[in-house]
Each structure stands twice: as structure tokens, then as C-alpha cells.
Structure 1
Amino acid sequence: MAFASNTGGPMADINVTPLVDVMLVLLIIFMVTVPPTSYPIQVDLPQPSTVPPPPTASPDPIRIHIDAGGTVSWNGSPTPMSSLQAQFDVEGARGDNGNGAVDAAKQATIEIETDKDAEYEVLAKVLSRAKNANLVKISFVAPGASQ
């Protein structure tokens, strides 16, 4: 049996093995991705309403001021640190839904303002008492901005 060898001229054969490999990979990719897109997915979108939601009256913010001497004021009246937790508990109870969740819309915003020379320890105590009362709307106010 004699085999013909192409020894002198250019080779005219095309190597189709890489082409077949690429085509098989593309076929597998299309087979995997096409079926999930052919099934419809039910999506319940909210319907537009012409009736605006009823306005809710948000409670007035509570202004806490901490001065350089460590005195804490609740809306302008000095408050001892011992009774601050009880006042925070009353405000935190307004947002309690009864199931452990907190409705922040029913709670007043706590606006904390500190003097430049106030001690951080007093601020940390106020923040921890607010957190223990489940107050979620706490903001810091620049000195002089709450008047």
C-alpha cells in the first residue's frame, strides 16, 4: 500500500478539528441558556393609584444638647443622666409595633448637639441610652444650628 506524500507544493487541506470543537461548545452554550428564557415568569407589579397616601404627622424632633461641663439638656431643660434612659424609653415605645419591629416613622428624631469642648464619654452614654431604647432616628447637629 503506497501513500502519496505531498512533498513539493503547498498544503491545501484545512484542519477542521478546532472548528468542530468551537461549534460543539457553542451548541452546548445555546442548549443550556435557551430553555430558561422560554418559560414565562409571573411578576406582580404594583398598580398606580390616584389617591395619595394620607399624610402622617411626624413628631417634633427632640434636641439634646451636651455642654462642655457634661450637662445634658432635653429640649432646653437640663436633664440628669439618670432620668435620660426613662425619657428615651418613652420615645422608643412610640415606634414599637408589638412584634419586635420598630416603626421609625412614629418615633421622633433625636438631634444631638455638643459643645466643642464636651467630653466624648457623655456623648457615648447618651448614644448608648438611645440605642437601648430602640431609637433609630438619631442625628448630629452642628453647634448653633438647632436654635
Structure 2
Amino acid sequence: MGANLPSRRGRGRRAPMADINVTPLVDVMLVLLIIFMVTAPLLTAGVPVNLPESRAKALDQEQEPVQVAIDDAGRIFVNDNELTEAQLPDALAEIATANATGEPPAILVRADRTTNYGKFMSVMGELNRAGLNRVSLVTLGASER
């Protein structure tokens, strides 16, 4: 009539588990990897531009640069907001004065390879007139072809 209860030998403590179950960790890491792989292409600039190629190295950036883009139709975008040529000087003047440190922000210019050179130079002239002289031209690197 006695119940089969496990006998308690020793001090009543359980022995520590020597195995670490890494399966849940691997599952979580694989899910995070898939999420980053899916979202990484979406983090690029929103204006589709066919960039020219260059062998220059990428620049290190301290603060978030302002992106100016000219697409194949000649439309001008400042940080994904489309502007006319008449609106561009006011928008650039606002960007030049909005920085709290007093130093003008870095400007990244992305222009389609089929963009009219006159259109490109008029945008560059407006950037210079607004006092935005830290201008970098964005191209495709040799490894991004």
C-alpha cells in the first residue's frame, strides 16, 4: 500500500542542469536575420535614380546629411520631397539656417546618369548660393554594379 515516491537523498537540492538549450536562441537569431534582410533594401533613398559608377571610397558621416536628388525626368527632390526650381532656393536657405551647430550640413547629391548637365549645374549653383558647400556626389561603387 505504499506509494512509490522518489526517495530524497542528500540535502534536498536539485543538481544543476549542465546543458544549455540553444535552439530557441538560434530560432530568434534566424528570424531577426530574415527581418533585417527584408528591411535593408527598403532603407535606401526613396527616389529611384540610375546612378553613375565610380571607384571612389565612401565618406564617413558624423550627422545625417541632406539628400538632393534629380531623377531622369528632371524633377528635383530634397529629402524625398519634390520641389520646383522656384521652391528650391527657399528650401535650401531654410536648411542652411536650420542647423543648431552653425555649421552647414553635408549635402548628398544624387543625379540620374541621363540628367541634363544644365539642370544639374543649376542645382549645384543654388546649393552654393545658399552657403551649402559640403557637397558630395553619390555614385555606385565598383562592388555595387
Give the TM-score normalised by the residue count of structure 1.
0.48
Which structure is richer in relative contact order (CA contacts within 8 A, separation 6 or more)?
Answer: 2
Which of structures 1 and 2 has the bigger CA Rg? 1
